[in-house]
Structure 1
Amino acid sequence: MKKIELFEPAMCCPTGVCGPSVDETLLMITNSFEALQKVVDVDAKRHCLSDEPATFSKNPDVLNAIKKDGKDALPITIVDGKVVKVGEYPTQDELTQYTGVVFKNENADAVSK
């Protein structure tokens, strides 16, 4: 089973649809992770600093990155316990590389493996 975790900065809304404008990257991440959670052999989790600060402090790689670069280190993507991306959200192509799941469209309405 592939395990992918996304450690995100503090925010009021992880969907990207709150506030005066839509954050297309957060919308893609939200849709992609919702789709990944439906794949049986992928464990996909998002952690938000404002909701789960203890999760951040329990992960030495995340804690070290934040100590080194502050909030600029976030988001951090971890796959199978290894940091694979720091400071930016993964693209759908990267999510495919990390998990083996192919997204059928950018809204991640359907996936295949």
Structure 2
Amino acid sequence: MKKMQIFEPAMCCSTGLCGVGVDPELLRISTVLNTLKNNGVNVDRFNLSNEPQEFVTNKIVNSFVKEKGVEGLPVIVLDGEIIITGRYPSNEEFVKLLNVPENYIGEKPDSAASKKTQGCGCSGGDCCC
């Protein structure tokens, strides 16, 4: 199994989902990572505030931060190689990079929309559940 690590900038908590203004991208990443974990795929996530030693001991990340600064974070490492910088992988990239089925990251956006337009089987497609 492939090993993915995400090295993130300093945030107020391990996921960045604290406070009143939640970043939708951080919410998406947390949801994807939780869903992957529930399917037996672990992705290590390191926040500069909470795990600064990981940024020091990982030589390629340490070199990247020295050269580009923390402005270049997040850094995505796959099997010991930096593959993405400055952004998080898309859902499709997670599937491709980790070589997992699409349902390992949750429902596809199209399927949610089609369920809504097709209805739930209740009379007229409207129900309370």
Name stretches of at least 5 consecutive residues in structure 1 with no aligned partner: 108-113
What is the number of equivalent residue pairs in this alignment?
106
Q: Which residue of 1 aligns with 2:21?
A: 21
Aligned-pair identity in percent equals 38
Amino acid of the residue matched to residue 83 of structure 1?
A: I
In 2, are the aligned partners of 1:14 and 1:30 still within 8 Å (CA)?
no
RCO (CA 8 Å, sep 6+): is it higher in 1 or 2?
1
Query: Structure 1-normalised TM-score?
Result: 0.83
Alpha-carbon deviation of 1:35?
1.3
**What root-mean-square deviation, in Å, do the aligned CA atoms of Structure 1 and Structure 2 show?**
1.8
How do 1:52-91 residues align onto structure 2 when only pairs under 5 Å count?
52-91=51-90
In 2, are the aligned partners of 1:74 and 1:86 still within 8 Å (CA)?
yes
Q: Which residue of 2 aligns with 1:110?
A: none
SS at match of 1:47: strand
In 2, are the aligned partners of 1:33 and 1:45 still within 8 Å (CA)?
no
Q: Give the structure with the higher percent helix.
A: 2
Q: Which has the larger radius of gyration?
A: 2
Alpha-carbon deviation of 1:39?
2.7
Alpha-carbon deviation of 1:32?
0.8
Alignment deviations for residues 37-92 of structure 1 (CA, whole Å, 9 cap, x no partner):
2233x331101111111111111110111011111121000111111101111111
Q: Which residue of 2 aligns with 1:111?
A: none
SS at match of 1:77: strand
Query: Structure 2-normalised TM-score?
Result: 0.74
